[in-house]
Structure 1
């Protein structure tokens, strides 16, 4: 039995789907299981409710540990790892973030570092996945593009190894189902470095029409996030991350996706063509 936390998100949904298609027993944890259509046993679970974690992890042989980004990750990771240890879970795969531990002052990866350390110190076999920026992050441009407005750019010409979430999910499934990946930390990127203008140019080619892009100062974006109800600490961390990208701090590529999956990582253009309808 494999427990997938964050099972209704971008990566979690895909992990559940792939595991189910391969005939694995899957249990999907979500805070709101009502109406779920996931192809798995769906259970209610909240990282801040230990009883629900005990119920979710009971009988599981492996856990895919995934949480929404934010300063709460350390608390949530420790809670789930403690529950997993109590129930004798033998394998844990944690979704972390690229650059974790390298510079916690400017990276959201700082939120993941305590959980990574706790995982390595435990008794379960572990694998850590550190993906770069998801191709699917550009879906938040879709309303602007559909409305004919230019895309808001917070990272200038800073380039990243944009990765397809489907590749991340496939690597997670490999780590959950095979012993070869125990004790490994994978940095997952796409095959090319792309800036926001590069991604917009790809979308323009896919859609066959101009889109446009406009730079937004980080302080303005931070104020907008807070006004929209986001936690100020989260907004500040997000803006530090945007500045770091703009300065070229995340311009890195690895071959880890290809090494694990035995094929090249998908390009952003492939992802864009497959998700064209979202922007039309």
Structure 2
């Protein structure tokens, strides 16, 4: 079998864009990359110019998944936060097993168990089990909330109102966060390691930061008045749906906000701390939240329509 990595979600979407990061990082290392995308466009053209083999397909079409997997040795599986994870997992597991794939790096969320606090996290756990039953050498990256998703949430109101409107309780609520780039570096480290323990899980937290510190970071970096407005779960849900967020993601995040508020109100919040796997496997210290905001400052200061388009 050739030494080619199939990278799913390679074009990049509105969340962390880890697939795009992983594809580009692997290509920089000279690795063979097959980029699984939904359509040909300027994003796939760029990957092709960097040396990727582009294949158009659909996670939920088992035949196109099978065609994408044929001839690869390893897979990066990153399914977006939307409906269809069970079907996508089954299709990928079947194709990977059929074609003798020996390594699959599976991106899920930090809490992955049957009693995890959100529906998506519980689905992630089932996805992990399917890949393990398939015997395709899975390793599970359990990443916490992306900086990019915080930026997307903030961009909705910050440019026009200077407000960070979220249902996170008071400003002492602490959030475990990570840069998608750091998650991607860990994924590349696992995909290119000489050996990998099948079934191993790698929890990833880059930093733990309070709502107050998030507000202060935006105010300092953007040099403008910034304040936090606590809103209700229902207000946030209505606003998110009105902006076009899919119902699956909204339900996941609504449950997540409740979980983080509850954790911060008890000693349970102490379980969140930065993890060393980012540096050990990814090869560099995790990016700080302030570094991220400085990199994305110009984008976050744009009017809501422009910021939403690039988040």
Q: Is the 8 A contact 2:157 2:164 kept in 1?
A: yes
- Using the size of structure 2 for normalisation, the TM-score is 0.83
CA RMSD of superposed structures (Å): 2.0
In the alignment, structure 1 segments of 5+ residues that lack a partner are: none
Partners of 1:73 and 1:67 in 2: CA distance? 7
Residue 52 (structure 2) pairs with residue 45 (structure 1): no
Q: Which residue of 2 aligns with 1:158?
A: 173
Q: Which residue of 1 aligns with 2:219?
A: 204
In the alignment, structure 2 segments of 5+ residues that lack a partner are: 302-311
Indicate how the Cα distance of structure 1 residues 180 and 267 shifts in structure 2: closer, same or farther if over 3 A, else same: farther
2:182 corresponds to which of 157, 164, 167: 167
2:8 corresponds to which of 5, 10, 35: 5
Q: Which residue of 1 aligns with 2:290?
A: 269
- Using the size of structure 1 for normalisation, the TM-score is 0.91
More moved, 128-137 vs 158-167: 158-167
Note the C-alpha offset of 1:28: 0.8
Note the C-alpha offset of 1:269: 1.2
Q: Is the 8 A contact 1:31 1:46 kept in 2?
A: yes
Residue 271 (structure 2) pairs with residue 260 (structure 1): no
Residue 87 (structure 2) pairs with residue 75 (structure 1): yes
Q: Is the 8 A contact 2:60 2:84 kept in 1?
A: no
Residue 153 (structure 2) pairs with residue 123 (structure 1): no
SS, match of residue 68 in structure 1? coil
SS, match of residue 157 in structure 2? helix
Map Cα deviations across residues 195-254 of structure 1 (whole Å, 9 max, x no partner): 333212112111122221211100122233344555545533331111111222666122
Residue 203 (structure 2) pairs with residue 187 (structure 1): yes
User: How many residues are paired up?
Assistant: 279
Indicate how the Cα distance of structure 1 residues 153 and 229 shifts in structure 2: closer, same or farther if over 3 A, else same: closer
Q: Is the 8 A contact 1:136 1:165 kept in 2?
A: yes
Q: Which residue of 1 aligns with 2:40?
A: 33
Residue 121 (structure 2) pairs with residue 109 (structure 1): yes
